[in-house]
Amino acid sequence: MATPTPVAVVCVGMAGSGKTTFMQRINAHLHGNKEPPYVINLDPAVRNVPFDSNIDIRDSVNYKEVMKSYNLGPNGGILTSLNLFATKIDQILNLLEKRTTPDPAKPNTQPIKHILVDTPGQIEVFVWSASGSILLDSLASTFPTVIAYIIDTPRTSSTSTFMSNMLYACSILYKTKLPMILVMNKTDVKDAEFAKEWMTDFESFQAALREEEEAGSFGGMEGAASGMGGGSGYMGSLLNSMSLMLEEFYSHMSMVGVSAMTGAGIDEFFKAVAEKAQEFERDYKPELERRKKQRQEEKKENREKELGKLMKDMAVSGEPSSRPKPNIDPRNDMDTLSDMEEDTDEEAGEEDNDAEHALSQRYKQALTDSGGSKNAADADDNSFTRYLRTSQMNM
């Protein structure tokens, strides 16, 4: 029986949402079940992490040296560190494939079922950067990949902060184009049932919204003075409209309440991961393969265009030969002259055709070699260095 493909779980979340603690909890949970995961840390600025990483960005990139060398601030240093680390994506994928492939020489070795990825606390630096997109796309091209969006439940108890988190989750979903799980963390402090109710019952959210308006949670003294509630009505109208817009978004979203501190809800989280892995294979993977095929076709078309330009520049695109005819005295025998001209023209034409064909073949071969094999094409998709080089060539 074929070994199932490991699932990559990428944890993203706002600073302070408990993302790193959640990573430690699910890592310990898998070790407790005798299913040790493969752990990757992509946060270059973190000092200490409560788990052991198999691949750590801090081993390859010195965050403080990057800030000093390029005269950058904290966010710029994290972004540049990710860019530098993304140049090693080929090595990372080769290592992951090697570690997740069963070794026939060691049949008793437990295969890896999960790949856990911890990301920087500055969520926008990872999700919206070119290096973040390359890392996610490369990972998703090899393994079923699921985004776990960690939410601080106690700070999401108001309708405005809840809606802000939902909008951010929606933007991440459509940016990454990967299945997502909403992880309502810190349920030991506040239960997440209110969030499930707001996502499934529109009237419940409306009632909570009216209560906050009447209590003056949105500010605005004019509305309170006129007896129209505790706010001007603008914020309530905006949240009401957004809740209607996100109703379809909720229907396709999985939400799990967990506590990284106590471990509650972790089993439900991994059940949701298994469901999203199946959804990835069913709905997301065909789209990824379609986009990959489209990129390969575009590269092939660009290579053919470049070949046409080269052939035109080298004057081997099929124009008639401009070789001068031999200077022969016309007073000589006309038959002999005619024969000589025909022979000379035929030989010149054959030489030109042979030269054109040989040169055309050499350029085609050179362009084919530059395109590389299938593995090289995949590496070109995944390499940040080649990505920048291609961008500069197309400018």
For residues 337-364, average pLDDT:
55
How far apart CA 238 and CA 272 sit, in angstroms, is 31
In this predicted structure, the answer to whether residue 210 has a pLDDT above a threshold of 70 is yes
Q: Which amino acid does the sequence have at 46?
A: V
Weakest-pLDDT range from 173-177, 336-340, 391-395 = 336-340
Weakest-pLDDT range from 8-17, 175-184, 262-271, 344-353 = 344-353
How far apart CA 92 and CA 142 sit, in angstroms, is 11
- Which residue stretches of 215-284 are H helix? 221-225, 234-245, 247-251, 266-279
Contact 178, 253 (CB under 8 A): no
Tell me the pLDDT band of 219, cut-offs 50, 70 and 90.
low
**Residue, of 250 and 109, whose pLDDT is higher:** 250
186 sits in the region (left: phi over 0; alpha: psi -120 to 50; else beta) called left
Query: Among candidates 120, 176, 164, 213, which has minimal Cα distance to 288?
Result: 176
Query: Among candidates 80, 47, 44, 75, which has minimal Cα distance to 62?
Result: 44
CA dihedral (180, 182, 186, 190) in degrees, to 10, reads: -170
228, exposed or middle or buried, with CB in 10 Å at 0-12, 13-18, 19+?
middle
**Residue, of 311 and 364, whose pLDDT is higher:** 311
Mean pLDDT estimate for the chain = 79
Weakest-pLDDT range from 132-136, 171-175, 196-200, 357-361 = 357-361
**Residue, of 201 and 370, whose pLDDT is higher:** 201
pLDDT, tens only, 8-55: 999 999 988 999 999 999 999 999 999 999 999 999 999 888 999 999
Number of Cβ within a 10 Å radius of residue 100: 19
Q: Which amino acid does the sequence have at 88?
A: K
7, exposed or middle or buried, with CB in 10 Å at 0-12, 13-18, 19+?
buried
How far apart CA 37 and CA 34 sit, in angstroms, is 9
In this predicted structure, the answer to whether residue 199 has a pLDDT above a threshold of 80 is yes
> Which contiguous run of DSSP H or E holds residue 357?
helix 334-371
In this predicted structure, the answer to whether residue 57 has a pLDDT above a threshold of 90 is yes
Confidence (pLDDT) at 72: 93
Confidence (pLDDT) at 388: 46
CATH H superfamily, domain 7-215+243-290? P-loop containing nucleotide triphosphate hydrolases (3.40.50.300)
In this predicted structure, the answer to whether residue 382 has a pLDDT above a threshold of 60 is no
Tell me the pLDDT band of 360, cut-offs 50, 70 and 90.
low
Please tell me the chain's helix, strand, coil percentages from 3-state DSSP, rounded to the nearest 5.
60, 10, 30
For residues 145-159, average pLDDT:
94
Tell me the pLDDT band of 200, cut-offs 50, 70 and 90.
confident
Tell me the pLDDT band of 335, cut-offs 50, 70 and 90.
very low
- The three-class DSSP label of residue 41 is strand
Q: Which amino acid does the sequence have at 78?
A: I
Number of Cβ within a 10 Å radius of residue 310: 17
